[in-house]
A and B are shown apart, each in its own frame.
Chain A
Amino acid sequence: MKKLSKSTKNSLINYGMVIALYAIVMIIQLCGGLSNSMKGFLVPVCIYVIMAVSLNLVVGILGELSLGHAGFMCIGAYTGAIFSKLTEDTITVAPIRFTIAIIIGAAFAALFGALIGIPVLRLKGDYLAIVTLAFGEIIKNLVNVINFGVDSNGLHFSLKSAMDMGLAEDGKIIIKGAQGISGTPQDSNFTVGIVLVLITLFIVQNLVNSRDGRAIMAIRDNRIAAESVGINITKYKLMVFTISAALAGAAGVLYSHNFSTLTSAGDKFNYNASIMILVYVVLGGIGNIRGSVIAAVILYILPEKLRFLSDYRMLVYAIVLIVVMLFNWSPKAKEFKETVSYKIKAMFAKKEETQA
């Protein structure tokens, strides 16, 4: 057998991990050991894994802070759902329709990702963070007021109310302002989610381990040095933002087809959601793809599993978050961990000596 490089091995471990997880869940489900509440988690977990991995591409690999990742998910969710509603009668084979919906959602999100990429070229650090945050809020605000419908004359828009669109009698309202889209076909399931996770991992890992990926990391580590050896910064930054947005868009399509109603209310698509995904990325390890996957799975399920704490649930979550951050990142804690691991190693070394 050919000797595998370290990066290939790492990628394969990640695929294997996801497939093993899928197999375990499927076996438990066949044995009937999966509670209804756990079943409800399966698709959202896939969605947030995709979100975390794609955000890690921007935050970890490119080294730019983005606080508007949920905005791309929102675009994907809406465009995908609109497509499915429009073609519900013409394309009756659900898997084909859903595949096209995912591609369309990803494409629209990619378009916006490229649009957001343009200010990225001028802005750095916290200024960029605030622009992405602003972008996410604008998207959330817009989908909240938009009305969209279709009749025999074509498509109709209005920012005021569904009545203002002037639909003909045969018209169908697709987005009804803050009430959003209802009656989306529920095409999402765990298998599709896992397939999308694998595709996401495939795209991200191959990008990171390619020549382009090394160029991107060079930009992260030292922009000026990278530029001086002829790396096209504009091209690579736009590339990362577009790919990351497209993946988030695909996750959004998965989201909108998981429930029959889609609105922008609550914390689904605003900066809180973006921040939650950022928390997954940072706790999983910035730039570490496997870490993002594991952190997204655990941290998505953790608050739900803490339900027995009822009112104290989010309080405990907040404390866990702070303590983990302090323990993982503070220079003092790092020193402490090193001392402890050194002592443990020394202990084992002694035992071996006495045995010998």
Chain B
Amino acid sequence: MSFLNHLINGFSLGSVYAIIALGYTMVYGIAKMLNFAHGDVIMVGAFAVFISMTSMGASALLSLIIAMAVCTALGVLIEKVAYRPLRNASSSLAVLITAIGVSYLLQNLALLIFGADSKSFTSIVDLKAVKLFDGQVSISGTAIVTITACIVIMIGLTLFVNKTKAGQAMKAVSEDKGAAQLMGINVNATISLTFAIGSALAAVAGALMCSAYPNLTPYSGTMPGIKAFVAAVFGGIGSIPGAMIGGLLIGIIENIGKAYISSQMADAIVFAILVVVLLIKPTGILGKNIQEKV
């Protein structure tokens, strides 16, 4: 039965990775850049929830909304100030390094404001654990909310991208920026919208992550950010269902590996499986194979 427990915990962790990976994958799909600062936006979101809950005494839901607003504004601001001027730069590495600079900036700002000591985060979820099989298997309230949130977000995003005008515009911009502009799509606004959605999701992920693992430091976002990036690549970067599958798989592998093989080696196992998957399928599980033209 403990296997089932580990599996459920893995599912819950994987759902957090999946939500973060959705942000990565959307931004990558549209701006063709690895947003290294995404992990730090998660941290900012978690701090926003923490501050509004402890210092301002806001309710969990209100704090979450505040955090989403803060992160949305931050995401759009980062894109506008740091990434947009480099969109047509001659090397795609330029924007990558700038993203790393933004990541350092957010971490060190948080370090100055909140200090390096870890804050104990109060869970935003107030649900009792569900016990199954005479209490042998227990699913925490946070896990239930996390998994539900992940599924809802995934369905919502898929509908948004496929059914709404703004979503169609996103697809068009990610296919071909120039052609989209000629069709009357406001490319800048579409990219801003993508960053806004990705960052709002990061806030949700940050709040859920810290509800499950209640230690919050300025560096809390880094490792989940990297793992989610791995998840996005794992599932095929640019693909929304791929990010979900990748996130869940990484979460489950990590938890099972921790429980049955070695807790110190869990990360190595995750990365090793990633390498093997990419060797077999170089564009990830759901990635499209694009034919190269001369």
Contact = CB atoms under 8 A, between A and B. Distances in A.
- Are A and B a genuine interacting pair, yes or no? yes
Interface of A: 59, 65, 119, 122-124, 126-127, 129-131, 133-135, 137-138, 141-142, 144-145, 159, 224-225, 271, 275, 278-279, 282-283, 286, 311-312, 314-315, 317-319, 321-322, 325-326, 328-333
Contacts of A65: 93, 96
A275 B100 contact: yes
Interface of B: 28, 34, 36, 82, 85-86, 88-91, 93-94, 96-98, 100-102, 104-105, 107-109, 111-112, 226, 229-230, 233, 237, 262, 264-265, 267-268, 271-272, 274-275, 278-279, 282-284, 292, 294
A127 B275 CA distance: 10
A134 B271 contact: yes
B105 A315 contact: yes
B188 to A, nearest CB: 14
A278 B103 CA distance: 15
B229 A130 contact: yes
A284 B230 CA distance: 28
A275 B101 CA distance: 10
A225 B278 contact: no
A159 B97 contact: no
Contacts of A138: 268, 271-272, 275
Contact of A225 (B112, B265, B284, B294): B294
Nearest to B290: A124
Given A314-B108, A322-B105, A286 B82 contact: no
B268 A224 contact: no
Q: Which of B89, B101, B226, B265 has the most chain A CB within a 10 Å cutoff?
A: B101
Contacts of B274: 130-131, 134
Contact of B226 (A133, A135, A278, A326): A133
Given A134-B230, A315-B109, A326 B104 contact: no
Contacts of B85: 326, 330-333
Given A134-B274, A142-B268, A126 B101 contact: no
Contact of B94 (A59, A126, A325): A325
A103 to B, nearest CB: 28
A123 B280 CA distance: 10
B282 A122 contact: yes
Given A318-B105, A330-B89, A130 B233 contact: yes
Nearest to B102: A322
Given A129-B34, A275-B100, A325 B86 contact: yes
B282 A145 contact: no
Contacts of A129: 34
Contacts of A330: 85-86, 89
19 contacts: A126-B28, A126-B237, A127-B237, A130-B229, A134-B272, A135-B275, A141-B267, A141-B271, A142-B265, A142-B268, A159-B265, A279-B97, A286-B93, A314-B108, A314-B111, A315-B105, A329-B89, A330-B89, A333-B85
A285 to B, nearest CB: 10
B112 A331 contact: no
A134 B275 contact: yes
Contacts of B107: 314
Contact of A331 (B36, B88, B98, B282): B88
A137 B34 contact: no
Given A129-B34, A329-B89, A123 B230 contact: no
A223 B82 CA distance: 31
Q: Which of A135, A282, A286, A319 has the most chain B CB within a 10 Å cutoff?
A: A282
Contact of A141 (B102, B265, B278, B292): B265
A314 to B, nearest CB: 4
Contacts of B268: 137-138, 141-142
Contact of B86 (A135, A271, A278, A326): A326
Contacts of B91: 282, 286, 329
10 interchain residue pairs of minimum CB distance? A134-B271, A318-B104, A329-B94, A141-B268, A321-B101, A318-B105, A330-B85, A322-B101, A315-B108, A329-B89
Given A315-B108, A333-B85, A127 B94 contact: no
B89 A137 contact: no
A119 B271 CA distance: 14
Contacts of B275: 119, 131, 134-135, 138
A261 B199 CA distance: 42
Nearest to B115: A311
B82 A326 contact: yes
A286 B96 CA distance: 13
A58 to B, nearest CB: 12
Given A127-B233, A322-B105, A329 B279 contact: no
Contacts of A137: 267-268, 271
A319 B101 CA distance: 7
A317 B90 CA distance: 24
